[in-house]
Structure 1
Amino acid sequence: MTSASPHPVITVSNLKPGMFVVGIISQRGEMEIAQSGLVSNERQIAALVARGVLRVRVDLSRSQLSQDKAPEATDKPGAPIPSMRAMQEPRVQGEGRELKIRRLYQEARELQGKFIRHLKAGEPIDITPLAAVAEEMVDTMFSHGDAMLCLARIRAKDAYLMEHSMNVAILLANFGRYLGLERNVLKELTLGGLLHDVGKIMTPDAVLNKPGKLTDEEFAIMREHVVHSHDILKATTGITPTMLEVAANHHERLDGSGYPRSLQGEQLSLYTRMSAIVDVYDAVTADRVYKQGMQPTQAFRILLKGAVTHFDEGLVTRFIKCMGVYPVGTLVLLSNQRLALVMQRNELTPLKPLVKVIYHAAQRHYLEVQLLDLAKPGVSETIESTVDPKDYGITLANFV
């Protein structure tokens, strides 16, 4: 049967010699495997299976198959990750920077989950493993901060609680580094971010995941999560005052309109003010089951609008500078109608970051992935605007 898509996703069991693979969509294990090329024999397919590959995307136009042998798609059309190298024996590549950072991100997620499971089960809590991960996250922020920030932009709607906490931790580490805070403080802020919403395990699911505006009664219940977070962490060995402050005060506001204690003005420390900004930024840019997340530039406007009354105006300005005009992980439209993912900021020329070109907006098709430094001499392309990837059906996770 002929697939409706020229680049269908198929299970590896349906892969046949003569098919041209343009991307590995899912796999078990942690090995990186050559992404694309022509499959010439069954031995290559067996090697892919042995290495845990589950689904691949194929290019029918480059496959050496008759139309009646074209595969049936098992997924919606998405983003291929093309490469020009031939599909030799699938090879394990060296553990590069990106893979290490993904593993660190996943380890932190797993430890978060373990912490929460132990809490729910009433079992003893040990934050030592999470503290070690937080320290490694801080170190990684200094060496490969943009790669960490890029991961923080890619998340799933159904994992909001975990990923929001992860992202708050990453954003606090990044913001604190920008402000020149000492590393031991950055570690505490990062771990505080990882645990700042732990009290939500006490919030009823019907309130926590309600697809719509909360009633006054429901909002009162929701607000209690901050008190629960404070109580849980205060009773946990190894929690410092800074970590406790992040958890207890991230919903407080300068004008006293926040909760749970309606603190105001000088009662809000630097860490509280930082946490409030970061928490709101990540919350409003997140896709939820019941709402679409804002683009970073829209989130900046929300923060600027709330400056002075809700947020520290000077810190908001510095946070925006820290994140960059076009934050890492943002999809942008170039002057030649190509869409590109911002991969690395450029502090000297903020309007000209390093981007990954992936799609032609006018012709509506994917392009061979290309890294482009907009600040490099001779590069004429410029950024025209930010773009919502959903408008083009683009899954950014395929390109990170």
Structure 2
Amino acid sequence: MKSNTPHPVIPVNQLQPGMYVIAITSQTGAMEIAQMGLVTNRKQIESLIRRGVSTVRVDLSRSKLAGIEQVLSPEPASPSSSAQRLSSNAGGEGRELKIRRLYQEARELQGKFIRQLKAGEPIDITPLAAVAEEMVDTMFSHGDAMLCLARIRAKDAYLMEHSMNVAILLANFGRYLGLERSVIKELTLGGLLHDVGKIMTPDEVLNKPGKLTDEEFGIMRLHVVHSHDILLATAGITPTMLEVAANHHERLDGSGYPRHLKGEQLSLYTRISGIVDVYDAVTADRVYKQGMQPTQAFRILLKGADHHFDRELVTRFIKCMGVYPVGTLVQLSNQRLAIVMQRNAQEPLKPVVKVIYHAGQRHYLEVQWLDLAKSGVQETIECTVDPKEFGIKLANFV
């Protein structure tokens, strides 16, 4: 598409080495950024994304990229908030059913992949790649419904649940960061496969209820090496997918494993994967431990910022997930309990919720959708609630 201005504004994810940046036109990060000049490598672009840059102005005349005017496309218009907000009509319910089926299909294909590996059978990731692509497309069209399913998990299927949820969270965060859709699809498939090496970990170590001994922890850490080796030998695996599997336990200060990478050795994809993996792991219910609430998980990530995790990315991940992440049970000001079904980017404290229970009278209510931002709605969110306190199974309502 030919640009009609010599200095067009483009989304940062459309930047390529060879383009000349003359100004940063919008950013969400708090840091002052005044970088400009010729982009020479992908790391510079990754750094801008990490720092919250959304759009930049480029100088076509000073750019050293053949066919640059054909490369550029106009910044996509943001869909209106009203168009994005989920309604409680039959169409919305139909979409949720389709998304639930997609989630189930992904789980089944994941299980088949693992069974094939264990049996030593030939492996074909094509079906899983196709479902990962559909997951990403669904994340762009109905992201909050996908995120809702990521909160529903079974204690006895942790390996598959965790990988599914990491894939969904990577798709969501990648979308929020403005990464190219093709990259998001690679990250999503990488998430689905990132822990596949755990099939080589003995069950007594993998599911041990107490603290692992040093020897057991050494065995556990080998799952990353196994994941890398399995995927390296699998046709269709890209470097990005391999990076998610091999590096999601590496940390900024070099304290991670297996290679003790540190600082600039951790790419954007590695940093993203580490944050997402920890968030899902600590919020998961296991046979031997209760998962944390999202707000507690955010504190863990913030506590590890700078030495374990990239602080700017942690901040952006929290903004991406929202004050009340989708799937969270909250108590309203009138003692009713509701599940957060859709975020509100303009007013984060006023999401769309599904009212299901009365905390004071301790009984279920007729399910009601409620947009807390709608004019005339008096209810506000008081706090988040652990569903187990009231014996509520969120899976029955999502």
1:201 to 190, 193, 199: 199
Residue 126 of structure 1 deviates from its aligned partner by 0.3
* Aligned equivalent of 1:244: 242
Counterpart of 1:384? Answer: 382
Alignment deviations for residues 143-196 of structure 1 (CA, whole Å, 9 cap, x no partner): 000000000000010000000000000000000000000010000000000000
> Quick check: which has more Rg, 1 or 2?
1
CA distance in 1, matches of 2:93, 2:387: 29
- Does residue 302 of structure 2 align to residue 304 of structure 1? yes
1:342 equivalent in structure 2: 340
Q: Which residue of the partner structure matches residue 291 of structure 1?
A: 289
Which of 217, 226, 229 is the aligned partner of 2:227?
229
Q: Which residue of 1 aligns with 2:166?
A: 168
Distance 1:315 1:93, change over 3 A: closer
User: What is the CA-CA distance between 1:93 and the residue it aligns to?
Assistant: 9.9
Structure 2 residue matching 1:370: 3-state secondary structure? strand
User: Cα deviation per residue 1:59-100 (whole Å; 9 max; x = unaligned)?
Assistant: xxxxxxxxxxxxxxxxxxxxxxxxxxxxxxxxx999810111
Structure 2 match to 1:268: 266
CA distance in 2 between partners of 1:252 and 1:266 (Å): 12
Note if 1:156 corresponds to 2:150: no
Percent of pairs identical after alignment? 90
3-state SS of the aligned residue for 2:121? coil
1:92-171 map, 5 Å: 96-171=94-169
Counterpart of 2:213 (choices 212, 215, 230) is: 215
User: 1:258 is paired with a residue of what secondary structure?
Assistant: coil
| Unpaired segments ≥5 residues, structure 1 | 1-91
Q: Structure 2 CA distance, aligned partners of 1:362 and 1:104? A: 37
Tell me, in whole angstroms, the C-alpha distance in 2 between the residues paired with 1:368 and 1:96. Answer: 20
1:224-281 CA-partner distances (Å, limit 9, x unpaired): 0000000000000000000000000000000000000000000000000000000000
Partner residue in 2 for 1:282: 280
- Write out aligned runs for 1:73-84 (5 A): none
Alignment length, in residue pairs?
A: 309
CA distance in 2, matches of 1:395, 1:281: 21
- Residue in 1 that maps onto 2:353: 355
Q: Secondary structure at the match of 2:331?
A: strand
Amino acid of the structure 2 residue aligned with 1:254 = L
Distance in 2, Cα, partners of 1:93 & 1:343: 15
Whole-Å separation in 2 of the counterparts to 1:387 and 1:364: 14
- Name the amino acid aligned to 2:135: M
Name the SS of the counterpart of 1:368 in structure 2.
strand
For structure 2, which runs of at least 5 residues remain unmatched after alignment? 1-89
What TM-score results when the alignment is normalised by the length of structure 1? 0.76
Query: In the alignment, which of 314, 324, 328 is matched to residue 312 of structure 2?
Result: 314
Alpha-carbon distance between aligned partners in 2 of 1:397 and 1:202, rounded to the nearest angstrom: 31
Instruction: Letter of the 2:319 partner, please give it.
Output: K
Secondary structure of the 1:371 match is: strand
1:72 equivalent in structure 2: none
Partners of 1:274 and 1:100 in 2: CA distance: 28
Instruction: Give the corresponding residue for 2:48.
Output: none
Aligned match of 2:176? 178
Q: Distance in 2 between matches of 1:390 and 1:139?
A: 33
Q: Supply the distance in 2 between the matched residues of 1:329 and 1:197 (Cα, whole angstroms).
A: 24
TM-score by length of 2: 0.77
Pairs within 5 Å for 1:39-50 = none
Equivalent of 1:327 in 325, 328, 334: 325
Moved segments of 4+, more than 2 Å: 92-95
In structure 1, the residue corresponding to 2:360 is in which secondary structure? Answer: coil
> Structure 2: which amino acid aligns with 1:231?
D
Secondary structure (helix, strand or coil) at the match of 1:96 reads: helix
CA distance in 1, matches of 2:346, 2:285: 31
Distance across 2 between alignment mates of 1:95 and 1:238: 35
Which position in structure 1 is the counterpart of 2:366? 368
Q: Distance in 1 between matches of 2:147 and 2:353?
A: 14
CA distance in 2: counterparts of 1:370 and 1:107, whole angstroms: 29
Give me the CA root mean square deviation: 1.2
User: Could you say what secondary structure the match of 2:299 adopts?
Assistant: helix
Name the amino acid aligned to 1:140: T
Give the partner amino acid of 1:261. R
